[in-house]
Amino acid sequence: MALTRVELVELVKKIADSQGTDDEVADWMELVMNETGCPDVGEYIFYTEPEMTPDEVVEKAMSYKPIQL
């Protein structure tokens, strides 16, 4: 299931606002990470200074490129 950018932004908003149970938030986080291929989504949502907007989180996550060894 491929999510649109708008759907990803909505999920990031829900995650940032803790709008679900712990299990739901964990599932949403995993979904966003799987959809973007970015393992650092949680860092972007919770630990950046200054705080990133959901749009910025999705933009950065979507631009993630893994290191080629």
Domain range summary for the chain, segments of one domain joined by + = 5-62
Q: What is the pLDDT of residue 68?
A: 84
Q: What is the pLDDT of residue 66?
A: 86
Q: What is the pLDDT of residue 1?
A: 62
What is the rounded CA–CA span in Å between residue 51 and residue 26? 20
Give pLDDT tens digits for 1-57.
699 999 999 999 999 999 999 999 999 999 999 999 999 999 999 999 999 999 999
